[in-house]
């Protein structure tokens, strides 16, 4: 599993929301999820100890933990 940094993907990801400790990104370029390697639609990034996931419509998620950050990829 590879490390992931949104700053390495400025052109592929469009930021939809940023609340400081959490942010929401849209995948504009059919980038592959670093966990399962399928294309994902959105990425939710949190550095909070406890986070309630955004509402979803039954989509599949992958979680990637990196230090104090958790990356939630929605398919």
Half-sphere exposure for 66 (CA within 13 Å, toward CB): 14
Interface positions with Zn ion (CB under 5 A): 33, 35-36, 62, 73
Cα separation values, 9 from 23, 56, 59, 70, Å: 14, 24, 23, 17
| In the complex, minimum distance from the CB of residue 40 to Zn ion, in angstroms, rounded to a whole number | 6
Residue 26 CB, nearest distance to Zn ion (Å)?
A: 15
Cβ nearer to Zn ion, comparing 35 with 70: 35
In the bound state with Zn ion, the residue whose beta carbon lies nearer, of 25 and 73, is 73
Least Å from the CB of residue 20 to Zn ion = 25
């Amino acid at each position: 599993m590879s490390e992931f940094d949104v700053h390495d993907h400025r052109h592929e990801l469009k930021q939809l929301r940023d609340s400081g400790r959490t942010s929401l990104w849209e995948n504009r370029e059919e980038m592959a999820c670093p966990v399962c390697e399928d294309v994902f639609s959105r990425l939710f990034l949190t550095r909070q100890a406890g986070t309630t996931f955004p509402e979803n419509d039954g989509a599949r998620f992958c979680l990637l933990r990196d230090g104090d950050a958790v990356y939630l990829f929605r398919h």
